[in-house]
Amino acid sequence: MRFSIVFLFGSILYVNGNGTKRPVCEVIQVDPDNNSDMLLPLAIITDMDSKSKNSHSWYSTMKYGALAFSQNRTSSFIHWLGSVNITSNLNFNQKSMEMSDLKIYRNRLLSVDDKIGVVYWLRNGTAIPWVIASTGDGTSSTPFKGEWMTIRNDELYLGSSGHEVVTSSGEYINDDEMFIRVISPNGAMRTEDWTARFVKLRRSVGIHFPGYMIHEAVHWSDVHKKWFFLPRYSSKAPFDAASAYETGANILLSSSDCFCDTKVVHIGKSEPHRGFSAFQFIPGTRDEIIVALKTSEVPADPAKPFENKQFATWITIFRIDGTVILEDVSLDEGIKYEGIEFANVFQCL
């Protein structure tokens, strides 16, 4: 049990009942006026879809390392140190641990599963269910497709793909994935309908239904007082499962709360198989520099778009004005990572 907080070597520790000290999982803070070299702890998490199952349980792998930044913030590299599996038995229709984001909130490292709508607290190799959400306005038995998490006013915003739910050939079903959840520190949840916001956002780049823009990477910036979106897919043509994997986006959209002043910036060259799956602002950069993950899922046979998908992930660093600092670096062959956070796993897990 926690009963006191002490400061030691710059990290917060708590002393539990029997006197053992354990560091607390902290949001990484860097003084933006300190222009020395930076070394920041970084972690990413997998969503291996149906491949998350391992005989009797499900697992997701967290890979951890450090992001190094030169004094002048123009060169950077990432050094990976190791990985750890997080396992769980909780499942929905034999699906589980399809993690799609990572976020430290109130000294806890959280992740969200995009198949079962559970926000977990990751700790000591296990995933502790914290809140569970259903899709849409909360009147359906379908789980929430949780794709992104961000913090605003000390509340956790949990968002979905932000486009109309359609059939594999593009026929409209409903607007459920345009609703989001806002979760308070004690786990209470409210629903917000973001349909008008997502529609206005994509309109700023000339996309109207049945065209689509699909989101997995969204953050609120307290510095800029704006929402930032790095879409995974975008297309002016109607959705078609057989070709959606070729509509990867390379744009950064930012907008204030009115969604009436959206700014669009192109990031790097267009690679239609790649789209953004997650990002974070790099601490100490006044939300000017982003580290992001891009993924691709290319079916071995385009005639069977849901089968035998080949996964790949890249990591990239760029300024919000579009200047690329680190070009796409490919990560482990065949692995899809969908969450990234500046977190010290030795303190958080």
Ligand X SMILES: *[C@@H]1O[C@H](CO)[C@@H](O)[C@H](O)[C@H]1NC(C)=O
What residues between 116 and 175 interact with ligand X by CB under 6 A?
A: 124-125
Binder among 11, 50, 85, 140 for ligand X (CB under 6 A): 85
Least CB distance to ligand X at residue 84 (A): 6
347: helix, strand or coil: helix
Nearer to ligand X, 244 or 349 (CB): 349
Show the tokens assigned to 37: 């070299």
Q: How many residues bind ligand X (CB under 6 A)?
A: 18
Give the integer Cα–Cα distance in Å for 346 and 293: 22
* Interaction between residue 70 and ligand X (CB under 6 A): yes
Give the HSE-up count for residue 213: Cα atoms under 13 Å, Cβ half-sphere. Answer: 23
Counts for the chain of helices (H) and strands (E), in that order: 2, 28
277 among the known binding-site residues? yes
Give the integer Cα–Cα distance in Å for 342 and 280: 8
* Interaction between residue 16 and ligand X (CB under 6 A): yes
- The answer to whether 240 touches 233, Cβ cutoff 8 Å, is no
338 among the known binding-site residues? yes
* Burial state string for 162-175 with b = 16 or more CB within 10 A and e = fewer than 16: bbbbbeeebeeeeb
Site track 17-36 with ligand X (rule: CB under 6 A), x = hit: -x-x----------x--x-x
- The answer to whether 99 touches 111, Cβ cutoff 8 Å, is yes
216 among the known binding-site residues? yes
Binder among 12, 24, 78, 84 for ligand X (CB under 6 A): 84
Nearest to 271 by CA among 245, 291, 292: 245
Least CB distance to ligand X at residue 51 (A): 10
- The answer to whether 235 touches 207, Cβ cutoff 8 Å, is yes
Nearer to ligand X, 81 or 173 (CB): 81
Stretch binding ligand X (CB under 6 A), from 3-11, 71-79, 108-116, 274-282: 71-79
Nearer to ligand X, 34 or 50 (CB): 34
Binder among 75, 167, 169, 308 for ligand X (CB under 6 A): 75
Which residues, 6 or more positions from 48, have their beta carbon under 8 angstroms from its beta carbon? 60, 98, 311, 335, 336
Q: Provide the annotated binding site.
A: 100-101, 147, 216, 277, 338
Q: Provide the annotated binding site for Ca(2+).
A: 100-101, 147, 216, 277, 338
- Residues near ligand X (CB under 6 A) are 16, 18, 20, 31, 34, 36, 54, 59, 61, 70, 72, 74-75, 83-85, 124-125
